[in-house]
Amino acid sequence: MPSNVPNRYVNRPFLRWLLVGVLLIAGAMGALWYNEHRAISWKDTLDPFYWWRRWHNEDLYLPQQDLLLHGNHQLPEVALTFDDGPHPQSLPSILATLQRFHVHATFFDVGENMAAYPNLVRETLAEGNEIGNHTSTHLRLPHLSPLERHHEINDADITFYRITGQHLYLLRPPGMDYNDRVLAEAKRLGYIVVGYTVGAKDFVTDESVSFIVHRTLDRLENGSILLLHDYPDTARALPAILKGLAQRGYRVVTISEMIAHLPLKPRLAAVQFLRQQGDPYFGPEVASCGTASASQSVVKVRTKKEYKVSQSN
Ligand SMILES: [Zn+2]
């Protein structure tokens, strides 16, 4: 019997190291799984201030900068955004797929492409989608002079106005590349800058259609803003993406609908800003009514767009 005693002492450190090893492997596998399915970045995940802001709904819309970063965490809805168009090789197919699935999207179009294909701009709007500003020639805005920056943003609006008689109110800077000067100019020109939460990396031309589908569907949460592009591979991936969203129980909304569905405080700030700019979606005719009526107008928007989930909000 005494011969068993030393054995017990020999095995204990071994078991401890085994346990440490198993935990390390489990941790590494968990991190890998999270990275593939993460809806938020590592930086945010590890930042306690992010979770504090998220808990208080301060991570959705930044009123100082008029910057939309995320939709409502409580609603199972995602916004589809398509950058860089309109392109005749892909947009007709994208529009047809959206129509087949009875959903609408937001297209951040480039001014020179709008000028080249005005009919595609009209068709995008006619089918109930919305269009935002993706600058005139897709230059990175932080590196421009103030005058160049102004023209790069404003000329796209002039082009859009010539085609449609309407103005643009949403802006996505090319490459989502912005600094304080870009945000200040965007605000001065009356834009909400729209970020994204999921990038499909569909601009990498050698990636397959299934990569685009999985990259998009694996990183979703309530209120995600998906960044896609008006490209042929994305057009081919879109039916599977929309099918996957429906299977996961997500509704597809435009950015304006997403803003209209934000929690009260960020919603009032965003809606009030857009109204002051005269955005027709949020009813410029009541622009002078102040914040008290802002939530009423949201109800009006819902009625107009036949939004049916208002009970859950
Ligand atoms: Zn772009």
CATH number at residue 128: 3.20.20.370
Distance CA 41, CA 36 (A): 11
Residue-level pLDDT at 29: 86
CB 312 within 8 A of CB 73: no
Query: Cα 225 vs. chain centroid, distance in angstroms?
Result: 2
Task: Decide if pLDDT at 163 tops 60.
Answer: yes
CB 193 within 8 A of CB 171: yes
User: Is 4 domain-assigned?
Assistant: no
Q: What are phi and psi of 205, to 5 degrees?
A: -70, -25
Average pLDDT taken over every residue of the chain:
85
Q: Output the pTM of the full model.
A: 0.81
Residue-level pLDDT at 7: 60
User: Is 193 domain-assigned?
Assistant: yes
The arithmetic mean of pLDDT across residues 209-232, rounded, is 90
Ligand 1 center to 131 CA (angstroms): 14
Residue-level pLDDT at 205: 65
Task: Decide if pLDDT at 157 tops 90.
Answer: yes
Distance CA 143, CA 140 (A): 6
Please state which of the ranges 149-153, 157-161, 217-221, 256-260 shows the lowest mean pLDDT: 217-221
User: Is 42 domain-assigned?
Assistant: no
Task: Decide if pLDDT at 265 tops 80.
Answer: yes
238 pLDDT band (50/70/90 cuts)? very high
Residue-level pLDDT at 131: 97
Q: Which residue has the higher pLDDT, 110 or 219?
A: 110
Ligand 1 center to 112 CA (angstroms): 13
Task: Decide if pLDDT at 164 tops 90.
Answer: yes
CA distances from 267 to 4, 58, 258 (A): 70, 11, 9
Please state which of the ranges 37-46, 90-99, 165-174, 232-241 shows the lowest mean pLDDT: 37-46
The arithmetic mean of pLDDT across residues 262-269, rounded, is 95
- Report the catalytic residues: 83, 229
N-term to C-term CA, the chain: 70
Residue-level pLDDT at 44: 85
Ligand 1 center to 45 CA (angstroms): 27
Q: Which residue has the higher pLDDT, 270 or 34?
A: 270
The arithmetic mean of pLDDT across residues 45-67, rounded, is 92
Ligand 1 center to 84 CA (angstroms): 5
Q: Look up residue 61 and give its two tokens.
A: 């819309």
CA distances from 61 to 80, 247, 263, 269 (A): 18, 28, 10, 8
Residue-level pLDDT at 300: 24
Q: For residue range 200-218, what is the model confidence (pLDDT) as tens digits?
A: 777 766 677 888 888 889 8
Task: Decide if pLDDT at 298 tops 70.
Answer: no
The arithmetic mean of pLDDT across residues 4-29, rounded, is 80
Say if residue 86 is preceded by a cis peptide, omega within 30 of 0. yes
Q: How many domains does the chain have?
A: 1
User: Is 5 domain-assigned?
Assistant: no
Q: For residue range 281-294, what is the model confidence (pLDDT) as tens digits?
A: 887 544 444 443 43
User: Is 12 domain-assigned?
Assistant: no
Query: 194 exposed, middle or buried (CB, 10 Å; 0-12, 13-18, 19+)?
Result: buried
Ligand 1 center to 47 CA (angstroms): 29
Ligand 1 center to 108 CA (angstroms): 8
User: Is 78 domain-assigned?
Assistant: yes
User: Is 294 domain-assigned?
Assistant: yes
CB 166 within 8 A of CB 280: yes
Q: Look up residue 127 and give its two tokens.
A: 């089918």
Q: Which domain holds residue 193?
A: 60-312
Buried b (16+ CB within 10 A) or exposed e, 132-148: bbbbbebbebeebeeee
